Amino acid sequence: MKYFVVDILTPSKIVSKNMSAESLLIPTTRGQINILENHTHLVTNLSTGMLSVFGGADYADRHFALTSGVCKVLDNKIVILSNTAEENTDVDLERARLALKNAEEKLKHSENLSAEEFEKYSRKVERAKIRIQIGEFIRPNYEK
């Protein structure tokens, strides 16, 4: 089985380096794309969503919550540059639920928000929902 290498980077940390993958599902601004070995070269914008890294028979599947950024595919090397990235096993569900509640509460009073604040809290809701989704539904069976 042939694999390619994936790096996931944010401005504050290296989330994963040289991760082996057989395929990826990447959330982009134009929809989700599937990356397989020998994919055409590509640079695309990321949207907030779930990145799934499938390791095939030799490596475990891994899932990450991402916010906006850029994905570069060149040869068999994928670099994900995201504003934030968090692996499902690192999600603090209580914190994510609290963030969702706080952001939704702010949006309930949207008439008092500027356009920038409305956009900010809308993005916070979207990110919290993705974090909750991967934290609740994509945990190893022994953690449920």
Under the banding of pLDDT at 50, 70 and 90, the label for residue 138 is low
Which CATH number applies to 4-88?
2.60.15.10
Judge whether 26 and 85 are in contact, CB under 8 Å.
Answer: no
Tell me the two tokens of residue 101: 């509640």
Residue holding tokens 């609740």?
Answer: 136
Tell me the two tokens of residue 36: 């397989």
Locate the domains of the chain by residue range. Answer: 4-88, 91-143
Q: Does residue 139 register a pLDDT over 80? A: no
State mean pLDDT over 31-46: 92
Q: Does residue 127 register a pLDDT over 50? A: yes
Quote the mean pLDDT of the chain. 89
Provide the pLDDT for residue 129: 93
**Which of 5-9, 20-24, 55-59, 135-139 is least confident?**
135-139
HSE (side-chain half, CA atoms, 13 Å) at 81: 8
The H or E element containing residue 53 is strand 49-54
State mean pLDDT over 130-141: 75
Provide the pLDDT for residue 144: 41
pTM for this prediction: 0.83
Provide the pLDDT for residue 110: 81
Nearest Cα residue to 25 out of 54, 56, 5, 46:
54
State mean pLDDT over 85-94: 91
What are phi and psi for residue 109, nearest 5 degrees? -110, 45
